Amino acid sequence: MATKLSVNLNAVAMLRNRRDLPWPSVTGLGRIALAAGAHGLTVHPRPDQRHIRFSDLPEIRALIDDEFPHAEFNIEGYPTDDFLDLVEEHQPEQVTLVPDDPAQATSDHGWPFERHGNFLKPVVARLKKGGMRVSLFADPEPEGLEAARATGADRVEFYTGPYGSCHSDSEKAAKELEKLGKAADAAVVLGLGINAGHDLTVANLAPLVRRVPKLAEVSIGHGLTADALEYGMAETVRRFLRSCEG
């Protein structure tokens, strides 16, 4: 079964927010992505609403429910009380918990699970009680994955930024890919599902899928949105879906 593709809409929202205008439409481009075969939509609503706005969430939820009922909504964020209230209101199929400072430009590291396990465990339990799958953002290291499993989470999402940054250095990319592969192997042994995301492209996604055959889902925003400016959203989604097949 091919790895599923969730399209992250944050970059689309950030472009929209440059003007006090309703375009580009976050839901409009989400609709095109899903119609082209994407399996879901991802957003990361930060407290300052610098890209995805809280008002986008009910519209995306309605888009999926009304037009693409087999697609999934994935909401990422740091588990403050406000964030947890937000996801409980909009009922995504998956919640991805990240250890971001609110001021961070983007997610750039995983949870230190052994240090934050006691903090995460009741959060995970609360979300799962609400019927949501929980994924935890993780560095690609086997160490700490047992502590991640002990939180009760369903999946880990491996941070692929270091791998993505090797776009012009094939030797370094191979090393980072193997690092991801070994972490994924350890996650499989522990019974954790595997997601991945950050700086993935059409070119580097296929090797990742081949090395991590149990990769359940990738969430891709920046590279996919950049390609959409050149190829259009529908064709870009199709290109990424082909890479998801390895």
Tell me how crowded residue 75 is: count the other CB atoms within 10 A of its CB.
Answer: 25
Residue keyed to tokens 């937000």: 86
In the residue annotation, 222 being an active-site residue is answered as: no
In angstroms, rounded to a whole number, what is the distance separating the alpha carbons of residues 145 and 235? 36
In the residue annotation, 93 being an active-site residue is answered as: no
Residue keyed to tokens 């593709």: 5
Indicate which residue of 39, 51, 72, 76 is catalytic: 76
Indicate which residue of 44, 51, 90, 116 is catalytic: 44
Amino acid making up residue 104: Q
The angle that helices 233-244 and 202-211 make with each other, rounded to 10 degrees, is 30
Indicate which residue of 72, 90, 198, 217 is catalytic: 198
Is 105 strand, coil or helix? coil
In the residue annotation, 51 being an active-site residue is answered as: no
Residue keyed to tokens 């750039």: 108
Residue keyed to tokens 């999402």: 157
The distance from CA 112 to its chain's CA centroid, rounded to whole angstroms, is 18
User: Which secondary structure element, helix H or strand E, spans residue 37, and what is its range?
Assistant: none
In angstroms, rounded to a whole number, what is the distance separating the alpha carbons of residues 137 and 140? 10
> Which is nearest to 194 in space by CA: 171, 206, 211, 169?
211
Pairing of strands 72-77, 4-8: unpaired
Positions marked catalytic: 44, 76, 198
